[in-house]
Amino acid sequence: MKIEVKQGEGLKRELSIEVPPDRVQTEMDKKFDEVKRSVTLKGFRKGKAPMTMIKTVYADEVKADVVDELIKATFPEAVRQHTLNVASRPTLTNLNFNDDGGFTYTATVEVFPEVPTVKFDKLEVPTHEITIKDEEVDDVMAYFRKRHADVRLVDREARQGDIVIADMTKIADPKMALDTADFPDSQIDLGNKMTVKEFREQLLGTKAGDQKQIEVVYPDDYSDSRFAGARIIYECSVKQIKEQILPEVDDAFAKQSGVAQTALEMRLKIREDLSKRREDDLRREQKRELVRQICETNPIPIPDGMVNDYLDSVVEDFKKNYPDAVEAEIRQNYRQVGIETIRWDMLWHSLAEQQKIEVSPADTEKWIEGFAARNSITLEQAQETLSKSGRLKELRESLLEEKVMAFLMEKARMVPAKVSG
């Protein structure tokens, strides 16, 4: 078999493969024999039709099958012979049976880039002091008080902190931000900071039976792009006013909340949880920054085939939840994300090999022990659960990436985080 490899643009390689006549003929004879044994032609018993007739009737079908078989067999041989680290499915062109009985074709593939020594000597990660304000603790306490509030129907005008039950109908929405027009039995909490400001302000003083038009204008930079710049007018038919009787903050309330045994312990626990959450947020921010800097410092090329496979997966996931999503927009929005995701995956694996970072059996066992403790199961049950779900195979990869990230964190210089605004 003759193989010629030409370097194409970037990571592309073009393989011209020529299969000798004897190998082609052997495969043709084999396929014709299979057809002869399996088909029935008019006037002949199964397997008894003359080979000349078989070749006349099934020539095109056999040739197509032979082409498939030859490519399946010879393409991997060519890749192994030239030690190509193939990263994409081959694109096949120029498929021809030659006059001498041989078969030739061209396979264009992309190869993985050669990853040089990964540079990590100038890393900087943002850091800042974590402080929890008393007001933040108060907000969480208020949340728990609302959760355990005694809600009762009242016959009066709505006050701050009440819940208004109303049938709402959209009567103007030029941008068509909302697909739905009717929102029956909406519960509007006038004491919740997350409730749209216009509702919190304009429903104060209303009572059951009142009608109220409320206009909501969303800023152009609103976080949800569907509503950015939108102007929506609602017709609100107030049905009920409910009062929230909040419990006193005392030891009994702390026990009822399930958070602590005393009010003081509850505040301390809330502060601790908020601090831990803030620390987790900071670590995630630092890791994102490390990934960005490593990818920026080591801009290895990424095979288009791998990016397209990544985007295929993203599109499939999007379509499950948003069937009307525009595929072209998804691919455009996530293409750079795909490139950086694949680049980081290649770089951290190379860095692990470069720095001889490994996951030991003890590392895996320690993680599984923690998993068992968190889920209140035995070590054997944890191993069985992880094995059945297939997560054991993924566990080593996850732990190895964590070790690489820890290595980079040790090498990075901590710098004060930039204050936005």
For position 366, what pLDDT does the model report?
A: 93
Domains, the chain, with CATH or none: 2-110 (3.30.70.1050), 150-245 (3.10.50.40), 271-416 (1.10.3120.10)
Instruction: Using alpha carbons, select from 394, 282, 295, 413 the residue that is nearest to residue 351.
Output: 295
For position 57, what pLDDT does the model report?
A: 83
Here the tokens at position 418 are: 């930039």
For position 392, what pLDDT does the model report?
A: 80
For position 419, what pLDDT does the model report?
A: 57
Here the tokens at position 22 are: 């004897």
For position 254, what pLDDT does the model report?
A: 94
For position 262, what pLDDT does the model report?
A: 96
Q: How far is Cα 93 from Cα 91, in angstroms, rounded to an integer?
A: 7
Taking CA atoms, 55 is separated from 50, 263, 380, 381, in Å, by 9, 90, 61, 61
Instruction: Using alpha carbons, select from 113, 145, 158 the residue that is nearest to residue 347.
Output: 113
Q: What is the pLDDT along the chain (421 residues), one digit of tens a residue?
A: 899 999 999 999 999 999 999 999 999 889 888 888 887 777 777 777 778 887 888 888 889 999 999 999 999 999 999 999 999 899 999 999 999 899 999 999 999 999 989 999 999 999 999 999 999 999 999 999 999 999 999 999 999 999 999 999 999 999 888 888 999 999 999 988 889 899 999 999 999 999 999 999 988 888 788 888 899 999 999 999 999 999 999 999 999 999 999 999 999 999 999 999 999 999 999 999 999 999 999 999 999 999 999 999 999 998 888 888 899 999 999 999 999 999 999 999 999 999 999 999 999 999 999 999 999 999 999 888 888 887 887 899 999 999 999 999 999 999 998 755 4
Contact (Cβ atoms closer than 8 angstroms) between residue 184 and residue 239: no
For position 421, what pLDDT does the model report?
A: 44
